[in-house]
Structure 1
Amino acid sequence: MNEAITRRERADLMAPLIAAVALAVVVVVTTVIRWLETFTPAGLVAGVPFPGVPVDFSPAEGEPVTSVHVTAGDIVARGVNSVSTVSLGLSIVVGALAWLAVIAVFATLAVRFLHGRFFDRGNPRLLDAAAWTMLGGALAVYMLETFGRNGVLAAAGLSGYVPPSWAVAAPFIPIWIAAMALGLISLAFRRGIRMQRDSEGLV
């Protein structure tokens, strides 16, 4: 059953719709930039975490040299095997498609709410779709980036270097936590729908 929404609620729901469009544009633009930064004339580029490599750094000409620890850097290599090359390209595309799908899900939810469809059976399904897309998309990107990174390291003569596992997995942990949170919200939606249906049956 559709519920009437107030003017304030309508304004609040328009904000995520506008944000969804803006975020979709940002995803597309950053994906193009990342693609160009990965496939360069100098070779294939892969970001690699390091366990804190000491480097002398001068912030400006004439300033004293400061010792810093580099925890990440880009490795550029030519002659990377085709599997790693394709994996890096797919990691960029899959990541972008996953984020666009999640943005589309939340935009759809906002539209449904605008029409008063708060306790609708389709809403938990949409939340489940977003959760699984985030979970699976992040896992796919994690694996594809690993294949690609290993190929770049091998082509650069650094096949013996193994990046710290915690540093490789760290960027994906918040995504997996958010996916689990969405799963719990979906469960709460289902319980709310069931309670509303039961209360309507008593009236």
Structure 2
Amino acid sequence: MELLSDWGEFIAAFVVFFVSHSIPTRPAVKSRIVALIGPIGFTLAYSALSTAILTWIIVAAGRAPYVEIWGWEPWQNHVPLTAMYFATLIFTMTLCRPNPLSFGGCNNDRFDPDNPGLIGWIRHPLLVTLLIWSLAHMVPNGDLAHVIVFGLFAAFSILGMRIIDKRARRILGADEWQRLSNTKRSFKFTRSGIMRFALGTAIYLALLYLHEPVIGISPLP
């Protein structure tokens, strides 16, 4: 009972996370929500819910019993500091862009495989963002609770890419999926892209500022 009490919040946070990610994405449930708030509203609400629960999981991991797997060194802090800037840019440069090959896209019927933007390089940008976040944060957090958190999310990201590819291939048809996934890998500076780049930088700075008051740990060396 004492062990369950010590790890209770940590376990509860994970249960809530997986329930919140399995029910809203079911076709019947998602279609009803989208009918009420629209596809963009669903994406924003789903992202906000995911962020809130993810924050709870991280806080719960910090409160869980400390079991060291590897020690901390000052250089380790630079890994998430650097990686998260790129992860934030990937997120802002691709969120709500046409992308029928993954989730998080908007106006997917407008997707052009000859002009896909960053999605031409990264088919599942939100899952790649989660993967970068997971692996980067695992480096300076070598205790059992955090290794479980970041390890599971890394595995969730990789598995999710395979599941979404399989589902999209089934829904779109093999030929159409192949046509859409055979994207042109190019990069152009556009007004929208520059604005998204600036937004990503601003969000990254905000995350640095809010990390200590929200998570309880300063991300700076």
Q: Same fold (TM over 0.5)?
A: no
Question: TM-score, with normalisation over the residues of structure 2?
Answer: 0.36
TM-score computed with the length of structure 1 as normaliser: 0.39
Query: Which of the pair is proportionally richer in helix?
Result: 2
Higher Cα radius of gyration: 1
